[in-house]
Amino acid sequence: MSDRALGLRILALSCGFVLVFSIISWRLVYLQLTCHQRRSSEVESQHVKLEALPARRGSLVDRNGELLASDKPVRDVVVDCKHLNHLPFVLRVVAELESLTEREVTEKYSEQQLRKIYLGHVAEVLGVPLGLPKQEVLAKLSYKRGAVMRPKLKGEVVLARGLEEEVGEQFQQNLYSRFVRGVECRKAMSRHYATERLGHVIGFIDHAHVGAEGVERALNSLLMGKDGYREVSRDRNGDEILAFRGDVAEPRHGCSVRLTIDMRIQEITEQALDAVYARVNPEKAMAVVVRPATGEILSLVNRPDFDRKKKEQNLRNYVVEAVYEPGSTFKIVPVGGVLDRRLVSLKTKIYCHQGYLQDAGMPKALRDHHPYGELTVAKIISKSSNIGTYKLSSKLGRQGLYGYIQAFGFGRKTGVELSGEISGIVHPAKRWSGTSMSRIGMGYEVAVTPLQMAMAMGSVANGGRLLRPSIVSGVYDPDGKVVSRFRPEVVSEPISPQASQLLRMALAEATDDGGTGVQARVENWTVAGKTGTAQRYDERLGRYVKGKYVVSFAGYAPRENPELVVVVVVDDPKNEKRFGGTVAAPVFSKIIGPSLDYLAIQGEIGKSGPLLSSSHADKQVSGGRRK
């Protein structure tokens, strides 16, 4: 070979080496400058994890500070299935369990068998303290391929939730002593409910600790808080490397909420509603107690109730989620309207056609329960005359009656801090039929919620101001500082104070001798209110069902200075006379009497009326007048 050819070969070889090393150098520079962050993150993700520091969900208390719901620290047993598949550690544990060397274990078992032995050991160690059968633990940690149980290769499995803190710590120590890795007793929070009452008010949370119903859902953003974290470095066995512990972000705990609910009045209401529910076996029953001067809800009950633990039975809060045709309790709207416009006085006499009226353009005759001749406006309320109410409604006209229905808050949500509230059903006046004027004033062709009716009756009781109801008295940060405090809010003024006073006088007669609500009376207190009896409409059949009724009573006490408004609704009562005065009025009596006695003992009211305003309500009232 000539020197020239040799030189060319050496040159080519040198160029080749230079090119190869240049490519390698370029690759190293590329990895260092361009891919460094990504590659470092990939490596770090295998060893560094963010361990959650759970935030405490805010507590719920009643208006007197009685604890209703709170969080407590617990431990959840979580298995990192990836560590169950780590062969070097599996080999070491099996060798320890069988008192063999790792080489002897390798010769005796295949990798598949080793993993199966280790998985069985883990299932046995976990199953006993958790009270789970070994096979159940295996089923959660494994999948089948052929006849062999294999550990899941990735992901986490939650085996148990809500272990007490001390139990969880002891359990974690036991795992280490029994050669189990990849199983963590992770810090968590568990919701504790101090009472089985108030299910539909408080609601509950889901598995992710997020509010699912009631106040828990409606105020979830305030209650929930924000979890913190800390960076934890772990070796191949899953053990923490304390020297490399990283950043820590402390959790931000949720705000606590004081409700307007009074647990004593809640208990009184539940007992009264339970008694009628057992006696008349209705489809459902509802009751709500409100402070007319402020709009605070002191108790709210639905029957049937639901089981908070099992999430079974009735999850609907009927007081805000169910509508009914209110019957004669709705007569406060047209009567209040004509008094407000000064079209009549309480002594104005209206001819009631001896209980039967067939007007021109009225497809169906209108009847009263008794044949009345002339009745004063006050007697139209106390005797609950349908014909008299129709003739008063006619004085307002369609648009006038529709305007007062809206002003009293029907057909729109009240704005209470509860999930699932509906607006009810009120059709615009232009869609009314030929019978609407004769039916709507007496509580048909409209659908309301019990809470809407309570607030409407409250506006009569407090001088003509429709308030927004509230179930939240105050919100407090984790340090106990006030975030927000309840203040009464006027939504509208459906009738004047003078009209309100006249209507209250008429409602007082309804509970006197000869009135339809005489069974609403209580000892030592004066009461006023209105009965309601409406034939039940079956949506499935598309018609009213003969012999089925929704009965109700809406009233307040004391008459002179109303302190409480109570609405009771019983849907389809059986086993006795089905009238508002015979079924719902006695329940009203059993609720409002003991409740007023209790408030008097607490020093909040006196026999002549209220002594103190609500302890959590501001005396300043905001809002505007009805247009």
In the chain, the number of structural domains is: 2
| One domain, residues 209 and 229 | yes
| One domain, residues 156 and 288 | no
- For residue 618, what pLDDT is reported? 37
| One domain, residues 55 and 73 | yes
Q: What are phi and psi of 530, to 5 degrees?
A: -140, 135
Round to whole Å and give the CA distance between 143 and 444. Answer: 61
Q: Average pLDDT over the chain, rounded to whole?
A: 86
Is pLDDT above 90 for 241? no
Closest CA to 583 of 273, 266, 332: 273
| One domain, residues 252 and 287 | no
Q: Which residues pair with 191 in a beta bridge?
A: 71
| One domain, residues 380 and 436 | yes
Last residue of a domain, one of 203, 226, 259: 259
- For residue 610, what pLDDT is reported? 40
575: region left, alpha or beta (phi > 0 left; psi from -120 to 50 alpha)? left
Closest CA to 292 of 614, 567, 564, 610: 564
Beta strands in 81-132, from DSSP E residues, in sequence order: none
Quote the tokens at residue 401: 């009656």
Would 41 be classed as within a structural domain? no
Quote the tokens at residue 303: 């029957």
Q: Is beta strand 60-61 parallel, antiparallel or unpaired with respect to 256-259?
A: parallel
What's the CATH code of the domain at 535? 3.40.710.10
DSSP state of 324: B
Would 42 be classed as within a structural domain? no
| One domain, residues 92 and 143 | yes
Which pLDDT band, with edges at 50, 70 and 90, does 614 fall under? Answer: very low
Give the CA distances from residue 200 to residues 127, 282, 300, 302, in Å, rounded to whole numbers and listed in that order: 37, 19, 8, 7
445: region left, alpha or beta (phi > 0 left; psi from -120 to 50 alpha)? left
Each residue of 515-557: pLDDT tens digit? Answer: 999 999 999 999 999 999 999 888 777 788 888 999 999 999 9
| One domain, residues 178 and 326 | no
Q: What are phi and psi of 188, to 5 degrees?
A: -155, 180
Max avg pLDDT among 76-80, 160-164, 250-254: 250-254
| One domain, residues 339 and 480 | yes
Domain that holds residue 615: 263-623
Q: Which helix (H) or strand (E) holds 622?
A: strand 622-623
Give the CA distances from residue 625 to residues 464, 489, 491, 622, in Å, rounded to whole numbers and listed in that order: 10, 12, 8, 10
- For residue 483, what pLDDT is reported? 92
| One domain, residues 182 and 248 | yes
| One domain, residues 313 and 325 | yes
Q: Which helix (H) or strand (E) holds 173?
A: helix 165-177
Round to whole Å and give the CA distance between 420 and 243. Answer: 51
From the number of C-beta atoms within 10 Å of its C-beta (0-12, 13-18, 19+), residue 245 rates as middle
Would 26 be classed as within a structural domain? no
Round to whole Å and give the CA distance between 289 and 306. Answer: 20
Would 221 be classed as within a structural domain? yes
Round to whole Å and give the CA distance between 411 and 15. Answer: 88
Question: Which amino acid, one-letter code, is at 349?
Answer: K
- For residue 608, what pLDDT is reported? 42
What's the CATH code of the domain at 55? 3.90.1310.10
What's the rounded mean pLDDT across residues 270-274? 97
Q: Is beta strand 543-557 parallel, antiparallel or unpaired with respect to 528-538?
A: antiparallel
Last residue of a domain, one of 259, 276, 295: 259
Give the CA distances from residue 408 to residues 171, 527, 614, in Å, rounded to whole numbers and listed in that order: 61, 21, 23
Last residue of a domain, one of 209, 234, 259: 259
Would 562 be classed as within a structural domain? yes
SS3 state of residue 200? helix
| One domain, residues 134 and 236 | yes
- For residue 130, what pLDDT is reported? 83
| One domain, residues 383 and 271 | yes
- For residue 95, what pLDDT is reported? 86
DSSP state of 178: T
Beta strands in 377-527, from DSSP E residues, in sequence order: 466-467, 472-476, 482-485, 489-492
Residues of the chain above pLDDT 90, percent: 55
Give the CA distances from residue 143 to residues 109, 140, 298, 488, in Å, rounded to whole numbers and listed in that order: 20, 8, 53, 59
Query: At how many degrees (to 10) do helices 36-47 and 3-33 cross?
Result: 60
